[in-house]
Chain A
Amino acid sequence: MEVKFQETKISLATGGVKVDKEQPPVLLVHGAGMDRTVWSQQTRYLAHHGFSPMAVDLPGHGKSGGELLSTIPAMADWIADLIGELDMGPVRLVGHSMGSLISLEVAAHHPDAVERIILMGAAAAMPVHPDLLGAAERNEILAPQLMTAWAHGARAHVAGNPTPGLWMRSGCQALLERAADGVIYNDLAACNSYEAGDIAGQIDCPITVIVGSEDKMTPPKATAQLVAGFEEVDLRHLKGVGHMMMIEAPDQIRELMLSALR
Chain B
Amino acid sequence: MVEPDYLKFDTLSLHAGQEPDPTTGSRGVPIYQTTSYSFVDTEQAAGLFNLEQPGHIYSRISNPTVAVLEERLAALEGGVGAVCTASGMAAFHLACATIMSAGNHVVASRNIYGGSHNMLNLTMPRFGITTTFVDPRDHDAWRSAITPETRVLFAETLGNPGIEVLDVPVVAEIAHEHGLPLMLDATFTTPYLMKPIELGADIVMHSVTKFLGGHGIALGGVVIDGGRFDWAATDKFPTLSEPYDGYHGISFFEEYGHQALSMRARAEGLRDFGAAMSPANAFHLLQGVETLPLRMQRHVENTATVIDFLETNDAVSWISHPSVSSHPDHELSKKLLPKGAGAILSFGIAGGREAGRRFIENVQLASHVANVGDAKTLVIHPASTTHQQLSAEDLSAAGVGEDLIRLSVGLEDSEDIIADLARALKASQKG
Residues of A in contact with B (beta carbons under 8 Å apart): 1, 11, 13-18, 35-37, 40-41, 43-45, 47-49, 62-63, 129, 131-132, 142, 145-146, 148-149, 155, 157-167, 169-171, 173-175, 177-178, 250-251, 254
Q: Is residue B257 within 8 Å, beta carbon to beta carbon, of the partner chain?
A: yes
Write the B240-252 contact mask toward A (1 if CB under 8 angstroms, else 0).
0001000111110
Q: Given A167-B16, A171-B227, are A129 and B2 neighbors across the interface (CB < 8 Å)? A: yes
Q: Considering the chains assembled together, what is the distance between the CA atoms of A63 and B251 in angstroms?
A: 13
Q: Considering the chains assembled together, what is the distance between the CA atoms of A172 and B248 in angstroms?
A: 27
Chain A residues within 8 Å of B258, by CB: 37, 171, 174-175, 178
Chain A residues within 8 Å of B82, by CB: 165, 167
Binds A, one of B67-75, B152-160, B182-190: B67-75
Chain B residues within 8 Å of A131, by CB: 1-2
Q: Given A158-B19, A167-B82, are A45 and B53 neighbors across the interface (CB < 8 Å)? A: yes
Chain B residues within 8 Å of A40, by CB: 255-257, 259
Tell me how far the C-beta of A100 lies from the nearest C-beta in chain B, rounded to whole angstroms.
21
Chain A residues within 8 Å of B51, by CB: 16, 44
Tell me how far the C-beta of A90 lies from the nearest C-beta in chain B, rounded to whole angstroms.
25
Chain A residues within 8 Å of B78, by CB: 170, 173
Q: Considering the chains assembled together, what is the distance between the CA atoms of A155 and B17 in angstroms?
A: 10
Q: Given A145-B6, A164-B56, A164-B62, are A170 and B50 neighbors across the interface (CB < 8 Å)? A: no
Q: Considering the chains assembled together, what is the distance between the CA atoms of A146 and B56 in angstroms?
A: 32
Q: Is the CB of B230 within 8 A of A166?
A: no
A16: nearest chain-B partner, CB-CB: B250
Q: Is the CB of A44 within 8 A of B54?
A: no
Q: Is the CB of A16 within 8 A of B74?
A: no
Q: Is the CB of B257 within 8 A of A44?
A: no
Chain A residues within 8 Å of B254, by CB: 1, 11, 13-14, 16, 36, 63
CB within 8 Å: A-B pair count = 154
Q: Is the CB of A148 within 8 A of B255?
A: no
Q: Is the CB of B6 within 8 A of A149?
A: yes
Chain A residues within 8 Å of B74, by CB: 165-167, 170
Partner of A160, one of B6, B19, B227: B19
Q: Is the CB of A166 within 8 A of B2?
A: no
Q: Is the CB of B1 within 8 A of A148?
A: no
Q: Secondary structure of the B side of the interface?
A: loop
Most chain A C-beta atoms within 10 Å of own C-beta, residue among B17, B232, B259: B259
Tell me how far the C-beta of B99 lies from the nearest C-beta in chain A, rounded to whole angstroms.
17
Q: Is the CB of B53 within 8 A of A254?
A: yes
Q: Is residue B55 within 8 Å, beta carbon to beta carbon, of the partner chain?
A: yes
A55: nearest chain-B partner, CB-CB: B255
Tell me how far the C-beta of B168 lies from the nearest C-beta in chain A, rounded to whole angstroms.
17
Write the B185-224 contact mask toward A (1 if CB under 8 angstroms, else 0).
0000000000000000000000000000000000000000
A147: nearest chain-B partner, CB-CB: B4
Q: Is the CB of A166 within 8 A of B15?
A: no
Partner of B251, one of A16, A35, A146: A16
Residues of B in contact with A (beta carbons under 8 Å apart): 1-2, 4-7, 15-19, 46-47, 50-56, 62-64, 66-68, 70-71, 74-75, 78-84, 226-228, 230, 232, 243, 247-251, 254-259, 262, 266
Chain B residues within 8 Å of A159, by CB: 15-19, 68, 71
Q: Is the CB of B4 within 8 A of A250?
A: no
B241: nearest chain-A partner, CB-CB: A63
Q: Considering the chains assembled together, what is the distance between the CA atoms of A159 and B74 in angstroms?
A: 11
Tell me how far the C-beta of A167 lies from the nearest C-beta in chain B, rounded to whole angstroms.
4
Q: Is the CB of A166 within 8 A of B259?
A: yes
Beyond A159-B71, A165-B262, A170-B78, list 15 extra A-B contacts (CB 8 Å).
Answer: A16-B251, A37-B257, A44-B51, A44-B52, A44-B250, A146-B2, A159-B19, A163-B81, A164-B54, A164-B63, A164-B66, A164-B266, A166-B71, A167-B16, A174-B227
Partner of A169, one of B75, B250, B256: B75
Chain B residues within 8 Å of A142, by CB: 1, 4
Q: Considering the chains assembled together, what is the distance between the CA atoms of A159 and B64 in angstroms?
A: 12
Q: Given A16-B249, A158-B7, A165-B82, are A48 and B55 neighbors across the interface (CB < 8 Å)? A: no
Tell me how far the C-beta of A261 lies from the nearest C-beta in chain B, rounded to whole angstroms.
15
Q: Considering the chains assembled together, what is the distance between the CA atoms of A158 and B12 in angstroms?
A: 7
Q: Given A44-B250, A157-B6, are A165 and B255 neighbors across the interface (CB < 8 Å)? A: no
Chain B residues within 8 Å of A166, by CB: 71, 74, 80-81, 259, 262
Tell me how far the C-beta of A180 lies from the nearest C-beta in chain B, rounded to whole angstroms.
11
Q: Is the CB of B50 within 8 A of A48?
A: yes
Q: Is the CB of A45 within 8 A of B80?
A: no
Tell me how far the C-beta of B300 lies from the nearest C-beta in chain A, rounded to whole angstroms.
26
Tell me how far the C-beta of B35 lies from the nearest C-beta in chain A, rounded to whole angstroms.
15
30 A–B contacts, CB within 8 A, in A order: A13-B254, A16-B51, A16-B243, A16-B247, A17-B249, A18-B249, A35-B257, A36-B254, A37-B257, A37-B258, A45-B52, A45-B53, A63-B254, A129-B2, A145-B4, A157-B7, A158-B16, A161-B71, A162-B54, A162-B55, A164-B54, A164-B56, A164-B63, A164-B70, A165-B266, A166-B81, A167-B79, A170-B78, A170-B227, A171-B227
